[in-house]
Amino acid sequence: MFLGRHLVEAARARGHCVTLLHRGRTNATLFPELEHVLADRDGGLDALRGRRFDVVVDTCGYAPRVVRASAERLAGATDHYTFVSSISVYAEPKPGLDESARVATIPDARDEALTGQSYGALKALCEQAVEAAFPGRALHVRPGLLVGPHDPTDRFTWWARRIARGGEILAPGRPRAPVQLIDVRDLAEWMVRMAESRAAGVFNATGPRVPLTLGGVLDTCRAVAGGDARFTWVDEAFLAEHGVQPWTELPLWVRSEDAGFLQVDGTRAHRAGLGFRPLQATARDTLEWDRATPLQGRPQQPGVSFPAGMAAERETELLRKWHERSAANRS
């Protein structure tokens, strides 16, 4: 839903004719000038009978059974299939993961329950289903953290909003902790170009090429937002002791043992032309969109406990406890 609208805009900007297939439940009024095919891909794809497409881009495949049905239905009527997967497919979050790294599995491949634990393994099975239907004709994109305007998850937006509010801010872990992200518009533009060239195979789509740090990202958001924000860096042990949830309650922060998910090797996609706009531009555009868009009514991502971010009262209480502990340690 988040990537999809940007893919449509990128494809149209390059002169392509776009058809949208959806159930008509989320953002159904977007792009009224385009052809909309209403269908449920879980057993309701008869609307595709007799249709032919040059390229299909699948942005919402989560259940392998459903993805297999879509891919098999389109295999004889489509030249190329682009499947949006995730870097969450990897079994172990080791730094430097490339596309050859082992993917996650689940005990029962028929179990379609989408949770934070099963998400990566299900995406890996979806990739396999697409490849079986489109051998050598499928592009599997494994994005990292997508950020930018219209993001319903708040994983980056929350920081831009919180920093713009100013005051003392709880910053998790270490300022030099690695961070990876990609502006959704950069990913969309690259995916359209890759589909045009009928590129195939697996690509980790994250970055940028020059490594980011958490401190650098927060400083960039402060520079864009202005104001009096000041960061108090709180160590991981304290956060764990108080039950702070990485990634959701404090976005962009993961525990040390999971840091590999923010150090994925994106060299293959970079060499294939994946570009990255300046982080300042992403932060500015995201903050402008957030200020102009009510929080109520933003769509949710299936199976994920977002929007992210810490309640103001909890942040204040944690900072108070942190300062009390620091004062006691100094005395």
Dist CA 127 CA 129 (whole Å)? 5
Dist CA 162 CA 310 (whole Å)? 9
| AA letter at 229 | A
Dist CA 275 CA 281 (whole Å)? 14
Give 2's pLDDT tier (boundaries 50, 70, 90).
confident
70-104 per-residue burial string, b: 16 or more CB within 10 A, e: under 16: bbebbbeebebbbbbbbbbbbeebeeebebebebb
Give the chain's radius of gyration (CA, Å).
21
Contact 206, 144 (CB under 8 A): yes
Contact 170, 109 (CB under 8 A): no
The confidence score (pLDDT) of residue 300 equals 57
The label of the residue with tokens 């020059």 reads: 210
The label of the residue with tokens 């933003």 reads: 298
Question: Per-residue pLDDT tens for 158-202?
Answer: 999 999 999 999 999 999 999 999 999 999 999 999 999 999 999
| AA letter at 121 | A
Count of positions (residues) in the chain? 331
Give 280's pLDDT tier (boundaries 50, 70, 90).
very high
The confidence score (pLDDT) of residue 203 equals 98
What is the 8-class DSSP label of residue 9?
H
| AA letter at 325 | R
The confidence score (pLDDT) of residue 1 equals 60
Q: Specify the CATH number of the domain 2-330.
A: 3.40.50.720
Average pLDDT across the chain, whole number? 94
Contact 278, 212 (CB under 8 A): no
pLDDT over 70, % of the chain:
96
Contact 99, 142 (CB under 8 A): yes
Kind plus residue range of the DSSP H or E element containing 125: helix 119-133
> How close are the terminal C-alpha atoms of the chain, in Å?
53
Contact 69, 129 (CB under 8 A): no
Q: Identify the CA nearest to 254 among candidates 165, 148, 145, 169.
A: 145
Question: Per-residue pLDDT tens for 221-269?
Answer: 999 999 999 999 999 999 999 999 999 999 999 999 999 999 999 999 9
The confidence score (pLDDT) of residue 298 equals 63
Those residues whose C-beta lies under 8 Å from the C-beta of residue 17, and which sit 6 or more positions away, are none
| Pairing between β-strand 212-213 and β-strand 178-179 as defined by DSSP bridges | antiparallel
9-24 per-residue burial string, b: 16 or more CB within 10 A, e: under 16: bbbeeeeeeeeebbee
Q: Hey, what's the torsion of the CAs at 12, 55, 1, 36, to 10 degrees?
A: 70
Q: Identify the CA nearest to 225 among candidates 153, 172, 173, 162.
A: 162
Residue 8 has pLDDT above 90, yes or no: yes
Dist CA 137 CA 168 (whole Å)? 51
